[in-house]
Amino acid sequence: MQSVLDRAAAGGRITPQEALELYRNAPLHALGQAADAARRRRYADTAHIATYIIERNINYTNVCVTACKFCAFYAPPKSDKGWTRDLDDILRRCAETVELGGTQIMFQGGHHPDFGVEYYEKHFAAIKKDFPQLVIHSLGASEVEHMARISGVSVEEAIRRIHAAGLDSFAGAGAELLPERPRKAIAPLKESGERWLEIMETAHNLGVESTSTMLMGTGETNAERIEHLRMIRDVQDRTGGFRAFIPYTYQPENNHLKGQTQATVFEYLRMIAIARLFLDNVAHIQGSWLTTGKEAGQLSLHYGADDLGSVMLEENVVSSAGAKHRSNLAELIHLIRTAGRVPAQRATTYEHLVVHDDPANDPVNDHVVSHLSSTALDGGTAHPELKLIDAS
Q: What is the mean pLDDT of residues 349-358?
A: 95
Average confidence score pLDDT of the chain: 86
On the question of pLDDT at 181 being above 70, the answer is yes
The Cβ of residue 369 has, within 10 Å, a number of other Cβ atoms equal to 17
> Which of the two residues, 13 and 251, has the higher pLDDT score?
13
Q: Which of 5-19, 277-291, 377-391 has the highest mean pLDDT?
A: 5-19
3-state secondary structure of 353: strand
Confidence of residue 49 (pLDDT cuts 50, 70, 90): very high
Q: What is the mean pLDDT of residues 219-228?
A: 96
Burial of 166-192, coded b for 16+ CB within 10 Å and e otherwise, reads bbbbbbbbbbbbbbeebbeebbeebbe
CA angle (182, 275, 6) in 5-degree steps = 135
**pLDDT for residue 389:** 42
pTM of the complete model: 0.87
Q: Are 261 and 222 in contact (CB under 8 A)?
A: no
**pLDDT for residue 266:** 92
| Distance between first and last Cα of the chain | 55
3-state secondary structure of 216: strand
> Which of the two residues, 381 and 94, has the higher pLDDT score?
94
Q: Does the domain at residues 48-361 carry the CATH identifier 3.20.20.70?
A: yes
With a CB cutoff of 8 Å and minimum separation 6, the contacts of 160 are 206
On the question of pLDDT at 205 being above 70, the answer is yes
Render 317-332 in DSSP notation, one character per residue.
TTGGGT-----BHHHH
Domain boundaries, the chain: 48-361
On the question of pLDDT at 375 being above 60, the answer is no
Q: What percent of the chain has pLDDT over 70?
A: 85
Render 176-210 in DSSP notation, one character per residue.
S--SHHHHHHH-TTSPPHHHHHHHHHHHHHTT--E
Spatial distance between the Cα atoms of 257 and 315, rounded to a whole number of angstroms: 21
Q: Give the residue from 51, 100, 136 showing the smallest Cα distance to 371.
A: 100
On the question of pLDDT at 323 being above 50, the answer is no
